Amino acid sequence: MNGRIDSIHRYPIKSLPGEALSSTPVTRTRGLEDDRRFALLLPGTRFDPDDGMPLPKTRFVTTMRTAETALLSLRYDERSTRVEIAARGEPLAAGHLTVEADRRMVARALGRVLRPDDPDGLTLVEAPGLRFTDASIVSAGMMNTLTLINLETLREVEARLGRPLDPRRFRANIVVDGLPAWSEFDWIGRSVDFAEAGFQAVSRVRRCAAVDVDPRTARRDGSFWVAMVRAYGHVDFGVHLSVRVGGDISVGDPLAAEIPGPVELPA
């Protein structure tokens, strides 16, 4: 195999646009640090940050229901947790996300863009040991998985559906290139290595309506879900990866030339 990492992405706040990283460490216990560490809780939702219980994504702001999230961009410093958020390229808010007063200010600023009829209704939350991934409700092991997409698979889907698809629609942590289309589905239950870090492919990623939102325009431009069912009979795109061996991953890292046999999946 001649595959390599094309890009790496972290999403500090669930469902908000992410940021590209040139390199990052991954660990067995935390996955990609600070990925989906924070989330915007919807009004009327009870959440106890100390009980460690994940909530379904319907209790948070999501691109699936709030396409305006695509209007935003952010910069995040993991050492200080300071975030700078812009809307349509104009500064919107900045603050340290571990400081309660800053979180309230950032949440209200985001509310003005995402929920103008109730700008004070959102709550920006975090919880010790909890990452707000969609898979968090499945198990603790799945909560810390990363997602990977294959650009050659994307090109094949674009050709089949007859339209371009920005890779940012899929909010992947790792984007690879140089591999045959759909070959990532053959990894399920097997180990996959990039340079220092080792992973195991756990499952396919089943897509929701969030991918119907064009990240360039924040508009829904057709149903990827329906088109995929018609073309392929499923809506799976990408795979979940669990960290098997911690280490750094970097853009340009090659995929291990040989994928070993099955490995134990996380609980």
Q: Are residues 145 and 107 in the same domain?
A: no
pLDDT of residue 63: 92
CB 177 within 8 A of CB 152: yes
pLDDT of residue 152: 97
Q: Are residues 185 and 219 in the same domain?
A: yes
- Distance between CA 100 and CA 238 in Å, rounded? 36
Range of the domain at 108: 33-131
Identify the burial level of 246 via C-beta atoms within 10 angstroms of its C-beta, where 0-12 means exposed, 13-18 middle and 19 or more buried: middle
Q: Are residues 240 and 145 in the same domain?
A: yes
Q: Are residues 47 and 125 in the same domain?
A: yes
Residue 265 forms part of a structural domain: no
> Which of residues 80, 112, 131 is at a domain's end?
131
Q: pTM value?
A: 0.93
* Alpha-carbon distances, residue 177 vs 4, 73, 188, 267 (angstroms): 6, 25, 18, 30
Q: Are residues 126 and 141 in the same domain?
A: no
CATH number for the domain that contains residue 23: 2.40.33.20
Q: Are residues 120 and 41 in the same domain?
A: yes
Question: Is a pLDDT exceeding 70 seen at residue 262?
Answer: no
Q: Are residues 18 and 45 in the same domain?
A: no
Number of domains in the chain: 2
Identify the burial level of 247 via C-beta atoms within 10 angstroms of its C-beta, where 0-12 means exposed, 13-18 middle and 19 or more buried: middle
Residue 262 forms part of a structural domain: no
* Long-range Cβ pairs for the range 77-82 (8 Å, 24+): 78/12, 78/33, 78/34, 81/34
Q: Which residue has the higher pLDDT, 52 or 258?
A: 52
> Which of residues 111, 131, 151 is at a domain's end?
131
Residue 264 forms part of a structural domain: no
Residue 260 forms part of a structural domain: no
Q: Are residues 206 and 170 in the same domain?
A: yes
Q: Are residues 64 and 153 in the same domain?
A: no
Contacts of 217 (CB under 8 A, 6+ apart): 70
Structural tokens at position 200: 């195991």
Considering only 52-56, 117-121, 164-168, which range has the smallest mean pLDDT?
A: 52-56
pLDDT of residue 193: 93
CB 172 within 8 A of CB 147: yes
pLDDT of residue 121: 94
Structural tokens at position 103: 């979180």
Residue 258 forms part of a structural domain: no
> Which of residues 95, 110, 131 is at a domain's end?
131
Q: Are residues 117 and 203 in the same domain?
A: no
Please, which pLDDT band fits residue 267 given cuts at 50, 70 and 90?
A: very low
Residue 257 forms part of a structural domain: no
How large is the angle between the packed helices 151-161 and 224-232, nearest 10 degrees?
90
> What is the percentage of the chain residues whose pLDDT exceeds 70?
96
- Distance between CA 8 and CA 21 in Å, rounded? 5
Contacts of 167 (CB under 8 A, 6+ apart): 7, 149, 151, 154, 175
Q: What is the pLDDT averaged over residues 112-123?
A: 94
pLDDT of residue 1: 58
* Alpha-carbon distances, residue 87 vs 13, 61, 70 (angstroms): 15, 16, 9
Q: Are residues 59 and 11 in the same domain?
A: no
Q: What is the pLDDT averaged over residues 60-82?
A: 95
Question: Is a pLDDT exceeding 80 seen at residue 258?
Answer: no
Q: pLDDT of 22-61, one tens digit each?
A: 999 999 989 999 999 999 999 999 888 888 788 888 999 9
Tell me how crowded residue 166 is: count the other CB atoms within 10 A of its CB.
14
User: Per residue in 104-118, is it b (16+ CB within 10 Å) or e — as a string?
Assistant: eebbebbbebbbeee
Q: pLDDT of 174-227, one tens digit each?
A: 999 999 999 999 999 999 999 899 999 999 999 988 889 999 988 988 778 788
Q: Are residues 9 and 112 in the same domain?
A: no
- Distance between CA 77 and CA 151 in Å, rounded? 28
Contacts of 94 (CB under 8 A, 6+ apart): 82, 83, 84, 85, 106
